[in-house]
Structure formats: C-alpha cells, structure tokens
Structure 1
Amino acid sequence: MTKKASKGKAAAAPAEKMNKSQLVEKVAEQTGLTKKQADEAVSTMLDTVVEALRGGQSVGLPGLGTLSVKETAARTGVKPGTTEKIQIPAGKKVAFKVATTLKGNL
C-alpha cells in the first residue's frame, strides 16, 4: 500500500501505457497512411519536439499541453542509504503543463 493510500485516499489503478508502435498504428488507421508513412510522421514529430526542447524552446501541443525546459538550482541532498550530504549540481528538466481543455475532460 502506498503512503497516499494509507492516508485514506484511494490509490489510482495503474494506467496502461501506449507505446510508439501502438501510436503509429492508431495514426495509420485514422489517417489512411501506411504504417511505414505513419511511423515516419510520428518519428519526425517526436524528433522535432526533442530538437526544439534542446534549443530551449517550449512546445505547445493544442488540446494536450505545453512542454518546456526548466532550470534546476544546485542543492544539497542526502545520499540514499547513508546520512552523507552530497552536492547536487544545477541542471535542466523537462516540464509539462496540461492544457485546461484536457484537464477538464479527464
């Protein structure tokens, strides 16, 4: 049982994950493209999103949300399994803000 579930909140059932091949199949079905064409389209879109994020741009996906790169500050942490303090360097992380239309439809 998770900590959240033990505090009286119901634990959410794990959602099934859609992988890339399933996504390609759906795109092919809904667009009439061949699976090979759909795979190229999906791969190109994903590569374009990654390159934009690497370049510091945010990527807005209408109806889904916005991906952006956030800076993380350097901080002190504790090494797991010990009480040794370690310095965690500054870095970057990818953040996702859900679109209000999607949030309202879940």
Structure 2
Amino acid sequence: MIIRHVANERQEHMTLIVRPMMATAATVLPNGPDWSYEVKWDGYRTLAIKDGARVTLLSRNLKSLTTQYPSIAKAVGSLAVESATLDGEIVAVDEEGRPSFQALQHR
C-alpha cells in the first residue's frame, strides 16, 4: 500500500492508493463463506480509479496504463458515481473468444 500527501493552494488532502490484488498459488483451495475465487486470466492486473472527471488506470506496479487503454478509461469515466476504485484484469480475446495476451502487447 502506498500513501502520499497531495497539497494544492486551497486544501491539503491524502490520496490512498492500494496495490491490485494478486493471485496466490495454493495446493488446496480454502473454503468457507469468507472466500471467493475468480478465473486466472492472461492479462494485465489493473486498478481503475475514478475521482470526479479524472480517471487513472494503474498496473500492478502502479505504472500508468491510462493512455494505452483510452476506451477503458472512458468507460470508467462514464460510471454514474463521483468516485470509485475498481480492481480487475484487462484481457483481450482472439476471434474465437479465447484470451490472447499477445493481442494486449500489440497496443
């Protein structure tokens, strides 16, 4: 987790950025009501952060992906909320609907 202070002329506020959730290898799946699972897609783990009109896409290493994926940034910007943080995977699919990491790398 990274915490940094951001100051401007009018006010000082704190911006909190959390790293995306990463997959964990296990030989046995844990069970119980506190656990959930998702498919391991072959893509880029990404945080999409909406703060008013501003949208930022960040990689798992907190590098900006916003300019590489403008259509995703636009979709996040159109959400009917003032602010949100989404944690997910950017995935491209081939003509048959299968995940294609190579298609992502051609951006």
Return the TM-score normalized by structure 2. 0.27
Whichever structure has more helix as a proportion of its residues is 1
Whichever structure has more strand as a proportion of its residues is 2
The structure with higher relative contact order (CA 8 Å, sep 6+) is 2
Return the TM-score normalized by structure 1. 0.27
